[in-house]
Amino acid sequence: MEVVLKRPRSPFSWLRVYRLYLQAFPSSERKPFAIILKKTREGTTDVWCMYANGQFSGFCTTINGDSAVLLDYLAVCEAVRGKGIGTQTLYALQRQYKGKGLFVEIESPFEAGDDKEARVRRKAFYRACGMEPFGVMARVFGVNMELLGRGCSFDYAAYHAFYRDYYSRYAADHLQELPYPEA
């Protein structure tokens, strides 16, 4: 199944993205949607609707740098989860941003908690798609995150600079380096 990426154009498309955004991400991981819209208008963020077999299947957002792209959000509609749409979306993003690396921040799989199993599965998903850990942990607006990527590599200083240069100084100021857990 191939996933096609299309920019949301109609109010209905934006509403589908917004509803899934609220459903798929806990409030601790959601930035105000108005910021996503603003950064999209400024050209530093792309929002993509994902279509599989012609049906809306989810959305993703990216923060775009010169040589790398941060996959900021990826959400697959609940009815079609587990059917390869997330994997195909990563391949579609790699085609869309050909010549650039792709990286993600995932909530730390190293910490205990009710959702630890889901965080471990998320990391396994990205690893199965060819993304490798950078060995970088950061607290992003209070949430502990691990960085993984493909076609690029970041240490903490480069990651901080990416936020500062391609997103906002305010966001960069809310990153905090954390020690990477020993294996």
pLDDT beyond 80 at 61: yes
Q: How confident is the model at residue 183 (pLDDT cuts 50, 70, 90)?
A: low
- Domains of the chain by residue range: 3-178
Report angle CA 148, 153, 156 to the nearest 5 degrees: 80
For the segment 29-41, what is each residue's pLDDT rounded down to a tens digit?
Answer: 899 999 999 999 9
Distances (CA, A) of 64 to 30, 82, 134: 18, 27, 19
Tens-place pLDDT, residues 102-127: 999 999 999 888 889 999 999 999 99
What is the mean pLDDT of the segment spanning 67-94? 95
Within 13 Å, how many C-alpha atoms sit on residue 155's CB side? Answer: 1
Residue type at position 122:
R
pLDDT at residue 136 greater than cutoff 80:
yes
Residue 71: strand pairing partners? 62, 104
| CATH class (in words) of the domain with range 3-178 | alpha beta
The pLDDT value recorded for residue 121 is 93
